[in-house]
Structure 1
């Protein structure tokens, strides 16, 4: 037991402030099977527990052991790593891929390696925290523009005084599921000699033909100045990250990306699981369409805007109200996400629902009943929209 140190007394004041603003977080371990309907996880395609995916992890562990044993440049690369990279690149329409230990480290590695001192990064205001942190670490000049504002990106690129420029954005904004204007952003990059880096964390497996992602859907994969990052821990139900692009981008990252060079390689189990999940998605492309159908149903039930992805955002405004609503959902057997500042702007705390391709019709009906009840109790004006949308939801029920 550590003796309290006055050097850390400031932590108590900081914790008290967070509690007063209803921003305190707690870890709540989930059971392997607790009977709760899950609309909080990012396992969009329901592949995290798919028998073939689990078996893929087991088989890889038997072949290579529990861990990668070293960095990718020493002992951490197996034949399975290279196969996964090739398969992901082929699936998404890119020339090559490079696997990282997480989507977070993929973003850090790619952004820092493709920018640096003497370059400009134009960062979309809706970018994920990993892209924000990457910008801070890059030592580049950073301009943050309003979310989805292609005109602001154009102005920043036009007015730069440095030669190299990188534009970074999510393809699907994680908090509300809206789509970034990738075509307009790329057009600005083309006009001003910049690279567009797109995080497909919430696009892979959901958008595009058979889940190939929004970049593929809008026809940008053939451009070398488009680099894609993605996570393997959402739609593919595994763990890890990947950067997709040209061979010379891959070569550059192998030589310079610090989160690749100095991090232990992705564990064999995660590689095997991701490969198996990708195989299932190739065989069952209808899973991607099913996610959007379920999302439409949830939006209709809650009165939320029609979704463009797996994410359905039900804004309640007040952090205390959103938290209370999420707790009530859990009491009634439904697990939902609760996004509060700093994850979202002040005054926009929300329930974040994530559609799943594998949810049954009975569970979807049960979840709908819980949401309608909870929003009536906690949702203020949202409840009226939810009740009005309940009838319309029947049209998209599975």
Structure 2
């Protein structure tokens, strides 16, 4: 069991543990936006105009234009028809799930589907691999007792760094209404063209409605969540009491986002360069399981955590999503890392080159 450290600063490329500086290869701030000085300067500008929080309903009798401006920009970035922001990724998933549940749709869950898109606090998810599950999916859909089926999956498996193919969408029955609900929390900002997310990888079918949800607190570096779908779907979700009763994400962040195109582009390029530098050190080693050009490197060797920590390198290693799960040990690269950081990590793992 790994030790739980309590610290008083936000990690970036390093972390202070009991007065000792360690390289930090953990967390989910893949683009380093939370520690990006240029983004923080824009955020201060935004707070000057909008304050620190907006506690009113988005459906109130006065509304801030910045939400529509940012949602249009997010939709364009993610190659979606429209976007709707909420205060967290968990709320994004639950806003969609509650709207679908109210219509008595049947749900089919993929392996390791994120709790944000669960119907209830405890679910029994499929235990086979994603590919094996996908091969069974057309039969599962055909055998469903409800006419409209919701298929709820993750965009990628970020816990174990496993890529998912969505070619199985072509094999789904064409005589049923299907909603494909995809949690892209660990893909938005880091996969797809320019970090645009999973949208371009999912085939379009006339009877399959696509809804993508994501946390904005990962790569995008903002306290909020987003739903991508067609305008009709998002308008229906917006009319629910679930959405209307929720406070929105702080508008200052969306102000900063609308002015940070170059910041995100540059951070994505740095992240990609860092990933590829570490991929070159990893080579064909069987120590890690890894999606090419993805910042997560999973290992079954949990002892790697203590070994690296002894050499002042902190990596991700704890039980997730529940305390009773097996520890998940992985190295996470971010855009803040310098080339020498990557080389130091490689030296500790494989020896000096």
Asked if TM exceeds 0.5, the reply is yes
Q: CA shift at 1:147, angstroms?
A: 4.4
- Does the 8 Å CA contact 2:177/2:208 hold for their aligned counterparts? no
- TM-score w.r.t. the length of structure 1 is 0.75
Aligned to 2:85: 99
Q: 2:154 aligns with which of 170, 178, 199?
A: 170
Aligned to 1:44: 30
Aligned to 1:275: 258
Q: Tell me whether 1:333 sits opposite 2:300 in the alignment.
A: no
State the superposition RMSD in angstroms. Answer: 3.2
Aligned to 2:44: 58
Q: Tell me whether 1:313 sits opposite 2:291 in the alignment.
A: no
Q: Which moved more, 1:163-172 or 1:208-217?
A: 208-217
Aligned to 1:367: 345
Q: CA shift at 1:59, angstroms?
A: 1.3
Q: Which moved more, 1:122-131 or 1:146-155?
A: 146-155
Q: Secondary structure at the match of 1:350?
A: strand
Aligned to 1:157: 141
In structure 2, the gaps of 5 or more residues are none
Q: Secondary structure at the match of 2:239?
A: helix
The number of residue pairs the alignment matches comes to 340
Deviation beyond 6 Å, 4+ runs, structure 1: 221-224
Aligned to 2:333: 355
Q: CA shift at 1:90, angstroms?
A: 0.8
Closer, same or farther in 2 for the Cα pair 1:31/1:288, shift >3 Å? closer
Residues 92-114 of structure 1: CA deviation (Å, up to 9, x unaligned): 11111000101111011112212
Q: 2:246 aligns with which of 259, 263, 266?
A: 263
Q: Tell me whether 1:200 sits opposite 2:184 in the alignment.
A: yes
Q: 2:96 aligns with which of 91, 107, 110?
A: 110
RCO comparison, higher one (Cα < 8 Å, 6+) = 2
Q: 1:293 aligns with which of 257, 269, 276?
A: 276
- TM-score w.r.t. the length of structure 2 is 0.84
Q: Secondary structure at the match of 2:220?
A: coil
Q: Which moved more, 1:144-153 or 1:282-291?
A: 282-291
